[in-house]
Structure 1
Amino acid sequence: MANTKNAVAPVDEMLPAGKLFLYGLQHVLAMYAGAVAVPLIIAGAAGLTQAQTAYLINADLFTCGIATLLQTLGIWKIGIKIPVIQGVTFAAVTPMILMAQSGGMDLIFGSVIVAGLFTFLLAPFFSKMIRFFPPIVTGSIITIIGVSLLPVGVNWAAGGVGNKQYGSLTFIAVAVVVLITILMVNKFFKGFIAHIGVLIGLIVGLIIAIPLGIVNFSGVASAPWLGIDMPFHFGYPTFDLGAIISMILVMLVVMVESTGDFLAIGEMVDKKIGEKELTAGLRADGLATTLGGIFNAFPYTAFAQNVGLIGLTGVKSRFVVAVSGAILVVMGLFPKLATIIASLPNAVLGGAGIAMFGIVAASGIKTLAKVDYEKNVNNIFIVAISIGIGLIPVVAPDFFKMFPNWSQTILHSGITLGSITAILLNAFFNGGKGAGDLDDLKDSAGIQG
């Protein structure tokens, strides 16, 4: 607690229980749709059953809560102690899809555990090397993430790959309704309601899809009311060098994303974020990611939706978001709720997916718009080549099929290829000089999650 003689710093203020709960719940609602999107994507790629998908969602919510508590409350030199809510990063989706399809869930969890430990150990050194990750690099990477994920949303809207009714007008109509609902909410509402536009769209889509007969609630009745997230539920982890390298590259991007959010939140809550605080926050990301691999979940980062929510509400207390973490832990213990969420048809998810993934790409473009292309014409090559190479696996999935098997996990991940290309090209053209500082990262905050 940062007490002074006469007052408590806003970030350390303890609010009444009722307000803590309501404000905390508001943060959960703002990030909920994004929190469950990744486990739904991975479950589909791995071919999991409805019950397994529900378990994966519960495990993710549970670990989201633990990760958020780590950041907000802190343990030893772990946790930045500001109101930052944690969620699964979309940066890891593409490589995890490939791992799920080639080696199953145990391959994902093995790479996540090692990448988390790598992040934890690298945190104090990474805090000193941030100048090599300017907005031109992070903007290129985030754009690639969004564009790479768009095909997933489009296929969902058509009913899902492999569906015999793929492209049915019913599926597409439901997806359109969801997308229009999200747009209408953002057009006519502000603040809290606008922040949960995606969740509202999913609810409206579900209500419409039920009478159309495309929702399967068969597993809800048999799902237990209470479930405990057990370590290695899907089997003991498998450790593959290619998969580990791919996930470590993702975590390098995550560290940049989290840093931008940490700095932005620090300004909002009037707390100075220096090298020591950054290290503590990045260590928490690493520890949470390792716990994610153990408890059947994924890599974690700061959720950008909630950065905007802090600025909107003016509520600066970290204990508000600590309550959000507690709520997420409790939600992760109720499989019936997760089974209902897992019952959402692909068409409903498709409408939201197009919006969410498109916004990720647009956020990357927004960051790239701040880059100076006039004084440094080479910047255009960094963006063009990194995006072009990053999209090779999307536009030509068989492009690298003749390469060695050990390299396939890396080469089939657009985010991995794009990240490597952007970092190397920026180092080649800019050499780290003027490549970005903490103020640049503040500008890039709000694009993660």
Structure 2
Amino acid sequence: MTDMTTDAMRDPNNTPPLATAIPLGLQHVLAMFASNVTPSIIVAGAAGLAFGGAEQVYLIQMAMLFAGIATLFQTVGVGPIGARLPIMQGTSFAFVGVLAGIAATQGLGVALTACLIGGIIHFALGSVIQHLRFLFPPLVTGLVILAIGLYLIPVAIKYAAGGAAPFQMEAESFGSLKHWSVALTVVVVALGLKFWTKGTISNAAILIGMIVSYILAYMLGMVSFDKVAGADWITSIHVMPYGFEFNLGAVVAVTLISVVSAIETVGDASATTKAGAGRDATDEEIAGATYADGLGTAVASVFGGLPNTSFSQNVGIVGMTGVMSRHVVTIGAIFLIICGLLPKIGAVIASMPLPVLGGGVIVMFGMVASAGLNVLTEVNMNRRNMIIIAISLAAGLGLNLVPTAVQYLPGVLKVLATSAVAPTALMAVVLNLVLPDEID
């Protein structure tokens, strides 16, 4: 194979031979595939859609299709849109808490309308993103990412034990040895492959672990392919499948997370150029990445897809291989689009038993939390910053754990207050701006 450290391979506009580019493109897809479809499964469950049903399959298809399309916005670009860097886009975990709450209480129509408007605002941030970065230093972004992971971990445990809703947790089989055996298979296989293999297998460790666990679940009689046989071969795409339902609170909630997502994308763009080319990202690249982020979210929401963002794990692939070619990631995007157009693939994913998904997201959500901790290692842990961390996490996670504490708040404001992420972000931003720096 071509030397991965040559100057040519560090050029975003370089086009490697197909024999090199196709495996590298697949590697990018494998590294993010499980993380990309999981948010749609969780939000679909919160909205009350039948597990494995046609509507859930549709949301999974849109996750794959528009992850590919949004990635093309980044790698190919149109005018100022797109960083034209090897940045892989995918469905964002950052929005899961807010969207699950909105979908459960207000419906998917309200949730996706908020995503559309939030995506448009996110797009507009591309012109001012450089001027907003001061609001989101590592202290704030680290706290937000940590809160996302900590909020989602209980969801992972519920799935691993065999259920996701209160009535499922009361079932006799909830927490059974069979469920935990399937879930822990994902964890054990993923850890083994991650630390004792290299390259593509190591990067796809979670996905491979879920496949092995899926096979075990099938052998234990936990898998039914009835709905796979009935799934269409080609996706029928629908415009605003759940209607247009405006709710100001939902829009504010999604927009707040969109700002955080935009800052995360700025970080990923900067990390990509550092890892692949040893330089800082230009203002044009950062603005283009933000434009693509917002456009991808807005377009996806029109057809029933959830918000997308840049995927940090794919930055690691760029650093590991030294391949900076955006065309490699473009090939990965094409694979995702093909998957998104084939409902049979979505039906197979939707037939996955909850414990298989649970085992995968235990690792994924734990990694989200640890990523937040990693960002916080850049922060000087003086008394001022520790107070900000303490109050922000206490408010965000505390209200999430005791939602009746704000039971008299109206509608989506209650959802926002109990989402863990939004209160943590708001507290962290405000306290970081208000508290004087000289507290030691």
TM-score, reference length from structure 2: 0.93
Distance 1:257 1:214, change over 3 A: same
Q: Which residue in the other structure is 1:39 paired with?
A: 40
Instruction: Select between 257-266 and 155-164 the one with higher mean Cα deviation.
Output: 155-164
> In the alignment, what sits opposite 1:236?
243
Q: Distance in 2 between matches of 1:179 and 1:269?
A: 30
Residues 7 and 134 (structure 1 numbering): CA distance in 2 closer, same or farther, change over 3 Å?
Answer: closer
Partner of 2:351: 343
Matched, 1:197 2:198: no
Q: What's the offset of the Cα at 1:173?
A: 1.7
Mean CA deviation greater in 152-161 or 393-402: 393-402
Pairing 1:32-431 to 2, within 5 Å after superposition: 32-49=33-50, 50-160=53-163, 161=165, 162-163=167-168, 164=171, 165-233=173-241, 235-270=242-277, 272-373=280-381, 376-430=382-436
Q: For residue 339 of structure 1, what is the amino acid of its counterpart?
A: A
CA distance in 2 between partners of 1:413 and 1:405 (Å): 13
What are the Cα deviations for residues 147-179 of structure 1, in whole angstroms up to 9, with x where unaligned?
Answer: 000010000011113322222221112112221
Shift of 1:370: 2.1
Work out the CA distance in 1 between the residues paired with 2:115 and 2:253.
Answer: 10
In the TM superposition, what whole-angstrom CA distance separates every residue of 1:295-338 from its partner, at most 9, and x where no partner exists?
A: 21111111011000011111111011011111111110000011
Q: 1:75-111: CA deviations, max 9, x gaps? A: 0110010000001111100001101101221111100
Residues 430/230 of structure 1: CA separation in 2 closer, same or farther (3 Å cut): farther
**Is contact 1:62–1:331 with CA below 8 Å preserved after alignment?**
yes
Tell me how far 1:185 sits from its aligned partner.
1.4
The separation in 2 between residues aligned to 1:177 and 1:267, in whole angstroms, is 36
Distance 1:42 1:356 in 2: 16
C-alpha distance 406-20 of structure 1, shift in aligned 2 (>3 A): closer
- How far apart are residue 190 of structure 1 and its match? 2.5
Shift of 1:280: 1.4
CA apart distance, 1:342 = 0.5
| TM-score (norm: length of structure 1) | 0.91
CA–CA distance in structure 2, aligned partners of residues 430 and 201 of structure 1: 48
**In 2, Cα distance between the equivalents of 1:36 and 1:104?**
20
User: Against the structure 1 CA distance between its residues 284 and 430, is the aligned structure 2 distance closer, same or farther, given a 3 Å change threshold?
Assistant: farther
> How many residues align structurally?
424
**Aligned-CA RMSD value:** 1.7
Aligned to 2:435, what secondary structure does the other structure show? Answer: helix
> In the TM superposition, what is the alpha-carbon distance from 1:113 to its structure 2 partner?
0.4
The offset of 1:228, in angstroms, is 3.2
Give 1:9-48 correspondences, 5 Å limit. Answer: 10-48=11-49
Aligned-residue offset at 1:62? 0.5
- Aligned-residue identity in percent: 36
CA contact (8 A) 1:115 1:251 kept: yes
Decide whether aligned partners of structure 1 residues 329 and 394 sit closer, same or farther in structure 2, where only a CA change above 3 A counts: same
Shift of 1:11: 1.0
Asked if structure 2 preserves the Cα contact closer than 8 Å seen for 1:58 and 1:229, the reply is no
Paired residue secondary structure (2:226): coil
Whether contact under 8 Å (2:37, 2:60) holds in the other structure is: yes
Q: Is the 8 A contact 2:13 2:326 kept in 1?
A: yes
Shift of 1:9: 7.0
- 2:350 maps to a residue whose letter is A
Q: For residues 48-88 of structure 1, give each alpha carbon's deviation from its aligned partner in whole angstroms, at most 9, with x where no partner exists.
A: 13221111111111100110000001101100100000011
* 2:4 corresponds to: none
